[in-house]
Amino acid sequence: MGAMRVRTALAAAVQGLALALLALIGSVTLFVLTVVSIVLIPIGVGVFTTPAVLGLVRAHAGRRRLLAARWAALRIPAAYRPFPVDPRGGITGRVERCSLLLKDPAVRRDVQWLLVDMTAGAVVAVLAPGLILHGVFGLLVAAGLWIPLADAENGPYWYAFVPVEGWGTGTLAGLLGLALIAVALWANTALVRTHFALVGAVLRPGREGELEERIGRLTETRHDALDTSAAELRRIERDLHDGAQARLVAMGMNLGAIEALVEKDPARAKELIAKARESSAEALTELRDLVRGIHPPVLAERGLGDAVRALALRLPVRTEVDVELAGRTGAPVESAAYFAVSEALTNAVKHAGAERIWVDITHAEGSLRIAVTDDGRGGATVGGSSASDSASGDGSASDSGSGSGTGLSGIERRLGTFDGVLAVSSPAGGPTMVTMEIPCELF
């Protein structure tokens, strides 16, 4: 426990140092550039520079949102207004582009955040490494470093509020250093979280922004649901036409030939009867597979847990399924979760090169949570992004090596219909973990 706390405190100190550097270098530089660029708008120069500068500010804020998700498990949504795809060219188009950016509340929040980040945010972040470094320095002072320091000062050397001028006061400085290190062990993680809480307080959209973001998301997921439904109907029609329908037509033709041959050539009629029986069996198998693809019978009869277990049994990779559900969700949610897990497992087998897969299904805090983990090569992407860890997406346990992220994107769209989210952690070399969460209640 003690070793774990030390590692956690040291990791938080490193994170705090990185955040402080980002604030004191990145945020200060971008804030100055933004102010200068906006001031130059009346003389025309700022019209050309402001969109580029605000683009850098947006990227800087996006990076901080990503770090908040990775280091503090804090999701800070971005609610930027959609930008015209093809704004008018020339000076008029540049003025319009600049004006739209400056009127965007999310952009204004980004600029306000720069000011907070380079002041309060930097102070909070630098405390995490500062406590440890100052504590270690106190131990060095107690060990004898006070002697050259006191000589250089021509008097006592002040370590915090302790005037060090002898071994006794040096010992007090060492005790104070130990106290600072002890405080760091308990407070460093909280300091990093406080930094991200400040980030969220400024960057998070207000009530109006949240409603606007939700409306946009609902509109997008509605379109995705309609497109998915249409594609599914086309697939079913194609499978019926190319599979079961063709076999039933062939069986009908065989039965017609049997009627003509049953008296003239009984032996040939028996051969055609056998073919008709074979065609009917194949048609029935294809219909069952088609129905299973629409809604597996085991899912309707036994629920999500048993359906996923049955799915895992058919995989060529050793798969462990752990289910902790006190009831069942609605049929649409069960179906979406089942096919999301199915695609995740398929991608893990096809792309990850995994030898083992773990599936954990639980329900907590009003959400169905599913984690699909594999020990494959890692490097999964969402929608073609290259980030090792992504929040959002559509889950497959891995699109490793494919580089396309299409499987993950498909799962993201499927979950988005139910306000679900996807998080992907897939560092190079693995392991890959795809976490899916769908708000729902159990019955």
> CA geometry: angle at 387 spanning 385 and 393, to 5°?
60
Classify residue 373 by its DSSP letter.
Answer: E
**For residue 36, what pLDDT is reported?**
94
User: Residue 154: left if φ>0, alpha if ψ -120 to 50, beta else—which one?
Assistant: left
For helices 2-21 and 122-140, give the axis angle rounded to 10 degrees: 120
Domain ranges for the chain, please list them.
2-203, 210-294, 302-439
CA separation, residue 256 to residues 242, 250, 251, 266, 284 (Å): 21, 10, 9, 14, 20
**CATH placement of domain 302-439:** 3.30.565.10
Cβ atoms of 415 and 340 closer than 8 Å: yes
User: How far is 122 from 107, CA to CA, in rounded Å?
Assistant: 21
Give the pLDDT of the chain (443 residues) as one tens digit per residue: 577 888 888 999 999 999 999 999 999 999 999 999 999 988 888 888 998 999 899 999 989 998 998 898 888 887 777 665 544 554 457 788 888 888 888 888 999 999 999 999 999 999 999 999 999 988 998 888 888 888 787 888 888 888 888 888 888 988 998 999 999 999 999 999 999 999 988 988 766 555 666 666 666 666 665 665 666 667 666 666 666 666 677 777 777 777 777 777 778 777 778 877 777 777 777 666 655 555 677 787 888 888 899 888 888 888 999 999 888 888 888 888 888 898 888 888 888 778 899 999 999 888 999 999 988 887 776 554 333 333 333 333 333 343 334 567 778 777 877 878 888 888 777 788 888 999 888 88
Is 0.85 topped by the overall pTM?
A: no
| Residue-level pLDDT at 227 | 62
